[in-house]
Structure 1
């Protein structure tokens, strides 16, 4: 799966999606309900790293597969929505040999 640009993009997308859900579902409630702000610092930093990797992988797969601007925009928007990366991954799974 990690042998192709699309495979790497899918893996990074899943990791980025999980980090986003951890940030929203665990770290933010810990910060605002239990006054544990360090959770957001750690989860937010990791999510930021994974998001940058996601954008780099998106650029790589875009140039390699010659994706249209609409497909690139859809992949970017999917990264901004909770569970969006998982929906995108299901669609990309059909593309991968």
Structure 2
């Protein structure tokens, strides 16, 4: 999967799960009917958010994005639906490539992060499995910690 395809799909998924979460919040806080939508939509959105963040860092390192551009990509996940205009902007600016720059036979890595990314691109299936495990581990840890509790 190319950086363009990965980033585009996760930006869309992140936005769709925002919709699910917002619908769930309306059902819970406005109509008072159920909190099931928040539990399901929130969980799905949490997974999508973490996946989008990981993909943003991955694509940013490969594409040698500036720190500011990378931060803007990460912050776009916090604002509902902002991943979509950010993805379009990144596409217009030529920041989303059709192939991984650091793939085997591609550019030589210059930094430690680029070397790590290059290693992961040599074993994409293993990287995908490890990525899913890491995202699920972080997600599970956040579920165990629970939501923030207002201070007294």
**Post-superposition offset of 1:34:** 3.1
Residue 11 of structure 2 corresponds to 13
Larger Rg: 2
Whole-Å Cα distance in 1 between the matches of residues 90 and 50 of structure 2?
20
Residue 2 of structure 2 corresponds to 4
Whole-Å Cα distance in 1 between the matches of residues 62 and 3 of structure 2?
7
Q: Deviations over 1:24-51 (max 9, x none)?
A: 2x11011121330111000000000011
Q: TM-score under structure 2 normalisation? A: 0.57
Whole-Å Cα distance in 2 between the matches of residues 68 and 6 of structure 1?
17
Whole-Å Cα distance in 2 between the matches of residues 53 and 34 of structure 1?
30
Residue 37 of structure 1 corresponds to 35
RMSD: 1.4
Whole-Å Cα distance in 2 between the matches of residues 34 and 93 of structure 1?
41
Q: TM-score under structure 1 normalisation? A: 0.87
Whole-Å Cα distance in 1 between the matches of residues 88 and 57 of structure 2?
20
| Residue from 76, 79, 101 that aligns with 1:78 | 76
**Post-superposition offset of 1:20:** 1.1
Answer 1 or 2: which has greater helix percent. 1
For residues 56-71 of structure 1, the aligned pairs below 5 Å read: 56-71=54-69
Gaps of 5+ in 1: none
**Number of equivalenced pairs:** 94
Q: In 1, are the aligned partners of 2:20 and 2:37 still within 8 Å (CA)?
A: no
Q: In 2, are the aligned partners of 1:10 and 1:92 still within 8 Å (CA)?
A: no
